[in-house]
Amino acid sequence: MPRRLHRFAISLGLCASVLLSGWAAHWVSSQVGLADLQATGQHRLDLYATSLEREIGKFAFLPGTLALEGNAVELLVHPDSRVQQQRVNTYLEQLNTRAGTLAIYLLSREGRVLASSNWRRPDSFVGEDLSFRAYFRDALSAGSGRFFGIGTTRGEPGYYLAASLPGEPGGLGVAVIKVGLDELEKSWSTVETPALVSDENGVIILSAVPDWKFATLRPLDEATRRAFDRTLQYNRRALKPLGMHELRRLDDGARLVRIEPDGPQNASIYPTSGPFLAQSRPLPGTPWTLTVLSHSDQVDDLARSWALIGGVGAICPCLIALMLQERRRRLRDRLAAREALQRAHDELERKVEARTADLSTANQALQDEVAERIRAERTLRDAQDELVQAGKLAVIGQLSTGIAHELNQPLAALRTLSGNSVRFLARGDLGTTRDNLTRIGQLVDRMGAITGQLRDFARKSSGQAQAVSLSQALDNALALLDSRLRHSRATVCRQGEAPPVWCDPNRLEQVLVNLLGNALDAMDGQTAPAIELSLDTHESRARLQVRDHGPGISPEALDQLFKPFFTTKPVGRGLGLGLAISAGIVRDFGAASLTAHNHADGGAVFVLELPFRDPPHD
């Protein structure tokens, strides 16, 4: 469902639930309020009825008691007796004063007033014909009569209690008491709700609201109005309708009514118009009805308040439900976001793992390659070492002739000296023998030195760098070549000094032997070959320059001198590996170099530069 439609549905539901719960709260509150009002009204109805009955009841016996009064009976028997009339008048006057009634009077069977408590007043009832009064007729016919009416003489409303005085068949006459209900009415003015008493004609005869008095609860038809005119029951009072309309009938005979504001109105402590709960009950012994009116506005107000509370109360759970729903939605969104994040995270982790696996594979490959390179380098180094050794052996091979010649001489001398020594010993010439043996020892030492040098040179070097005296290395190389130098009558000129260098001494000697050997080769056949050796320091390195006085190096050869198998020497004299191996050895020293050029005055110059052990600091 689209969100807007969803919201509309929720709003509609919210409105419906608010209206429904408001209506329900209104209905329940109305019912409860009306029930309360009904109960209270019923209670008041009972209370007011009881007080009214008591008020009226206390006079009910009074008319009948006149039958016990001899003078009254006598007057009824002799209605023309003035004396008797006066006695009864006085008696009734006293009785009326004591009882607190409005009037007490005695009527003949014909309805004429024979005696009355108000005999002194000019408007006394005495002599009046009241046979038209209903209470008179009722008393004659039924023994008693009750009647509410307005007095015709003074226009004073009152309750008439009439009783037939027994005697002749049909009664001697009728005793009447007129009771005023003013006091009762006054006490009603303080009650909480308006109460009224209506007579059998629906005319309000007693009311807590003064202006309602003599208003009618229901419309009077013409015949009734004419009867009123005839009996003067209400003494021609204008009987206006109260303007009360029944709205609804409730249980217990209660009714919801409305009194229109255009009816008789007066300032009152109660509301006298609007909606009322009307509860009525007949007053026993009278044709009257007591009605208590309870204003139901407060019930309506309360119901409206409850409706409001109900509506608001319905909103609260709805709002809470909405909030919970919103919270659930947000939680759902958050969970979805978290899941998406988790998915992204998992994806990332998967990629990282894949990349790591790739990397580790690449790393492994790299390691393998490095290991392979190391292996290859080691192999190469081994090969180089082998090559160096081979080159060295080649040099030794070249030297071997000279060395053999060098050893032959002392060997021959040894043979001669040892032979001579034997002869001198036989002659007993111990002095000469001792000299010969000394000479033999010296020759053996010389031979040992030659073979020792050769042995040292021939041993396979570890290639380990150490501090080496360049002069010492040069001495060793020259010693190895001593035989050749002497054989070729070459002169060696040395000059300068250099600090110790950092390299493998054995391999350095190999390079030097090579350079010196090549120099001798270049000057082969010359009458005065000369080699110039100069030692110095150049650009923080020790420098050795080997110059010969040979033909020098041809421009073509200069480019290829250090390439393997380049040689200009005849077959069997050179392999072309000497300088290539020497260049390799120098390269391994690190920070070292071997270069060649021709001297300006002729001859070749080979320059060897080597790093110091401790490079001098500026």
Where on the chain is the footprint of ligand ADP (CB under 6 A)?
514, 518-519, 522, 548, 550, 553, 557, 561, 566-569, 574-579, 604
From the CB of 603, what's the least distance to ligand ADP, in Å?
7
20, 267 contact by CB (below 8 A): no
Rounded CA separation 328/599 (Å): 98
What DSSP element (H or E) covers 449?
A: helix 430-458
- Closer of 483 and 514 to ligand ADP (Cβ): 514
Residue closer to ligand ADP by CB (options 87, 547) is: 547
Question: How many helices (H) and strands (E) in the chain?
Answer: 14, 18
Tell me how far, at minimum, the Cβ of 435 lies from ligand ADP, in Å. Answer: 45
Residue 323 DSSP one-character state? H
Residue that has been written with the tokens 């000057």 in this structure: 523
R_g over Cα of the chain = 80
Q: How far apart are CA 45 and CA 289, in angstroms?
A: 11
Please say which residue, 178 or 549, places its beta carbon nearer to ligand ADP. 549
Q: Say if strands 289-295 and 195-198 run parallel, antiparallel, or are unpaired.
A: antiparallel
Task: Name which of 146 and 392 has its Cβ closer to ligand ADP.
Answer: 392
* 204: β partners: 198
- Residue placing its CB nearer to ligand ADP in the complex, 115 or 604: 604
- Cβ proximity to ligand ADP, 177 vs 577, nearer residue: 577
Q: Shortest distance, CB of residue 565 to ligand ADP, whole angstroms?
A: 9
Spatial contact of 585 and 562, defined as CB atoms under 8 Å apart: no
Measured from the CB atom, the residue of 114 and 581 that comes closer to ligand ADP is 581
d(CA 571, CA 566): 12
- Strands 604-611 and 501-503 come out as unpaired
Beta carbon of residue 395, minimum distance to ligand ADP (angstroms, whole number): 10
Minimal CA–CA distance to 179: which of 51, 97, 56?
56
Within 209-273, strands assigned E span: 244-249, 255-259
Q: 233 or 518: whose CB is closer to ligand ADP?
A: 518
Smallest gap from Cβ 409 to ligand ADP, in A, equals 27
For residue 477, the minimal CB distance to ligand ADP (Å) is 14
Helices 3-60, 297-427: inter-axial angle, 10-degree rounding: 140
Q: How far is the CB of 601 from ligand ADP (least distance, A)?
A: 14
Kind plus residue range of the DSSP H or E element containing 132: none
> What are the tokens at 36?
């309360």
Least distance from ligand ADP to the Cβ atom of residue 472, Å: 23
Nearest-approach distance from CB 413 to ligand ADP, in angstroms: 33
Distance, in Å, from the CA atom of 35 to the CA atom of 32, rounded to the nearest integer, reads: 5
- Backbone φ and ψ for 205, nearest 5 degrees, come out as -105, -15
Indicate the residue type of 466. Answer: Q
Q: What Å distances lie between residue 562 and 122, 280, 492, 583, CA to CA?
A: 178, 145, 25, 7
CB 502 within 8 A of CB 465: yes
Residue 447 CB, nearest approach to ligand ADP (Å): 28
Rounded to a whole number of angstroms, the distance between the first and last alpha carbons of the chain is 87
Nearer residue to ligand ADP within complex by CB, 304 or 569: 569
Which CB atom, from 277 or from 520, has the smaller least distance to ligand ADP?
520
Residue nearest to ligand ADP (CB): 574
- CB-wise, 177 or 520, nearer to ligand ADP? 520
Instruction: State in angstroms the smallest separation of the CB of 552 from ligand ADP.
Output: 6
Residue 117 vs 514, nearer CB to ligand ADP: 514
Structure-block tokens of residue 468: 């080496």
How many angstroms separate the CA atoms of 354 and 348, rounded? 10
559: burial class by Cβ within 10 Å (0-12, 13-18, 19+)? exposed
Rounded to the nearest whole angstrom, what is the least distance from the CB of residue 490 to ligand ADP in the complex? 12
Strand partners, 257: 246, 276
